[in-house]
Amino acid sequence: MDIRIATRKSALALWQAEHVAAALRELPEVTSVDLVPLTTRGDEVLDRSLQKIGGKGLFIKELEIAMQNGDADIAVHSMKDVPADMPAGFCIAAVMQRANYADALVGPTNTTIDTLDNGARVGSSSLRRAAQLKMLRPDIVIAPLRGNVNTRLAKLDNGDYDAIVLAAAGLERLGLQGYISQQFSADEMLPAAAQGVVGIECLTNNAALQAILKKLQHDATALTTLAERAIARHLQASCHSPVAAHALLDGEHMTATALVALPDGSRSIRRKISGPAAAAERLGQNLAEELLEAGAGEILAATAAADGSADE
């Protein structure tokens, strides 16, 4: 089978697509693999927050259109950018082994969240990261930051920010781990659902292709991804909501932790649940229910209302 991979054109997206392509080329059923680089609206519009232009789903829409039109067979994504509810006709056929889930502070050598000057300007357009940064350091100023990894690093080097926060996995994949001045623990900053996971999307009606892609599935990552995305889905959280989720496996046992917070860090709810890994999705749903019973819905509604008024 010949397989064409739709991908964004950023260095990180191309790395991820090549990573999947290399794995596919090892399969005897695959005769050729080609990349189809595309520009998405999320890449083009950098002067407004993702919340205001439609969310992180904008990074995958054009890739899905390419599959629908027959110009590509699969698409490769950072799973943290994929909405919890897949559009009709599409599925995540496989997820690759998870890389580093952590968030990283990038700044001058040996800079940590504790050593930043009072009122330091920290770049991040993630409400989840903003909330947890403010919980750690209420005095710092969170400033919007968009663009690919190299663009963001250039803005830091230009002095636009005192530090920025990026996913450690992205930096490591691009060989830029030397820029990391502090890696946050899960206690300090819970990641986004499925952060560090590369997923492969295809059309649901292509059973033959799905069977091939399933051979790339990493079972442990599939379970933690299932639990974390179930949390976001049950909370009806979008990719840019201030929601964090992280699941860990210990043999056949799973522990999941989730957090919902106001972007300014003034209110947060954090809960943990444990149970059999085989019930990953149910565990995620149950944890989301606990969060909702504790008031998570009010926090998410307040965040959405504030975002809507800022749009007007």
Active centre residues (catalytic): 81
Cα separation, 47 vs 149, whole angstroms: 16
Residues 299 and 269: beta-carbon distance below 8 Å: yes
Structure tokens at 150: 């190299």
